[in-house]
Structure 1
Amino acid sequence: MRFVVSSTALSSRLVALSRVINSKNSLPILGDFLFEVVGGRLNLTASDSEVMMKTSLELTENDGDGRFCVGNHDLLEAVKGISEQPITFDVDQNSNIAKISYQNGVFSLPVENADEFPQAQQIGDGATTINIATGVLAENINRSLFATAQDELRPVMNGIYFDLTSDYLAIVASDGHKLVRNKVLNIHSEQPASFILPKKPATLLKNVLGKQGGDVVIRFDERNAEINFEEGVIICRLIEGRFPNYNSVIPQSNPNQLTVDRLGLLSALRRVQPFSNDSSNLIRFHVENGTLQLDAEDYDFSKTATEKMMCDYNGTPMSIGFKGSSFIEILNNFDCDQVNIQLADPSRAGLVLPSEQPENQDVLMLMMPMLIND
């Protein structure tokens, strides 16, 4: 079998697929890319047995259909360094060798039987379908990933929860200390459904969706999801279990309203945070009379820091403690000029909202407070 393909097109697809492959695999074949030539197109697949990603590209020329597997590392390293030009694959499946030639050279690699490569999980006939704009899905995944947990005892917290209701699609992530809830208001269904997307396929989507146009089509049942986007498809096993009732932890009334410049607060927190205690990372927020004061202290090493900034505040004077690194993550995952921080009292969760909500969306982040000693 012989086919010719663009070097840069092949390289970009292989780089995306390589993120699926683990450094250590239970089966040697899981360290390979699957190549399938069908009808003038090259279909490429990578899998770790839990997550499978497929993509395809047009061939310049080919002399027939066929399929084979080839190790990911050597092929990727060789192809990455080739400038834009045609690459020719000559595959002899009798000797199990692929000869890859380009303008200034040639190399050969062993190939393996494609029949050993794992099959994709099948989605049941009663699957639920969600159509969502590529940009909306990408920004919601980007906004939520940082809030997922690494909890072996509660695996349901280790992914992003998609909750399709009759009013909206909620995309939620939480580690028990912070929570992100995104509502996509123009997506809803009379038949409620939900699934928990593991962190790995979510990260893959974050990397491949980019600025692609069009819609992403998500089909899912109780066990698996199939996510079709412009350049390919991801098929993955879902996290099984019941996600906690996220609405029950979101305060319905936080009367103290603080509006502050997002980048100004972010810069101040970054300056103050190094002076906080390494184990707690506690930053004290004191707000009163249009002034927000940030305090950090580490008495073990005789370090303290204080910074004040102007804000708009409508509420009673208050001191409340938050984990500095987590608050920095929250601010980093907004792209608005100002944020609105809603507080009730020092023992209840604070809400952070953008000054302007994205079109057809309702974004909210929640931060649990820390105990402070006055």
Structure 2
Amino acid sequence: MKTIVYEGPQTVSFKEMEIPELTEGWALIKSSHAGICGSDLNIFSGAHPRAQAPLVLGHEFSGTMAKGHPTIEEGTPVTVNPLLSCGKCSSCRNGQSHVCENLRLIGIDCDGGMAEFVKVPIENVVKLPEGLSLALGALVEPVAVAVHAVRQGNYIPGDNAVVFGAGTIGFCVGLVLKSYGAKNVTIVETNELRLEKAKELGFSTVNPLQQDVKKEILEKTGGVGADFVFDCAGHPSVLPHVTGVAKVRGTIVMVAAYKKPAEVDLLQGMFKELSMNFIRVYTQKDFVLAAELLQENSMFEKIITHVLPAEEAKQGFDLLTQKTDAVKVMYEFNG
């Protein structure tokens, strides 16, 4: 079968491998589409603390049921919740398995969905809503992150929001906010190509290299500031802005992962009585809501900018590690 394998820092390869053998409690999925995530880029750089080469990448993927599931018929369109929880730690016992103390992921800690066939636990398989394309099915996982961020932040319909970072997660957060009734959503980004994509999706935009972020946000909010600020960039240069553009008693939601400790203006946070929430992945409910949202809102499809054959494994990573207009890059395994 066709696979995309991480073989070491800066090296991914297209390879032919044997189809995985099924074991009890696991099902076999025939993959259709698999997306490249920020975590995959972290693995590609050699910086991920757990991913070990050789590894079949991919935790954002869709496909059809091949065999091994007790209730889902063969050929049924599905996606997969890639979280592997231990079921024994205090978080799992308290119904919070998404923050399992021993959390692992398909595509990071075991072979993932960038392959023609992938073996997954039967309880992780999620049927796709009727009529949802398999390409959008592979977008369920990042949209679930966005749904979790918005719900965890206790967003209230009608409020305005600022999203830092116009990558896949930033766009997903923005579109989830719009779907849930956001009054105004502003995307802050330095990449002009991605700012054009943001405008295409109907967002207000600010380029901090050319504009005063705080001034622009205050003008857009009548001098009050943003009700909600989402950091989907994960860059230290963003942090001075997040407390500055949030309104008094506003909410900051940290979505992106920071690789190193970074400074936050805690005094400004104190004076404004800001709330700061952190999110990690998503719950099973977030995952199901994401699938439903993708069926309802066709704008999410515009996030998918490139769909490549598996043979172009390296090209996909090049698109996301160089300055291009790429947002969500996927591989297709059909055919």
RCO higher in structure (CA 8 A, sep ≥6): 2
Larger Rg: 1
Higher strand content, 1 or 2: 1
- Considering the TM-score relative to the shorter chain, is it more than 0.5? no
TM-score by length of 2: 0.27
Q: Please identify which structure carries the higher helix content.
A: 2
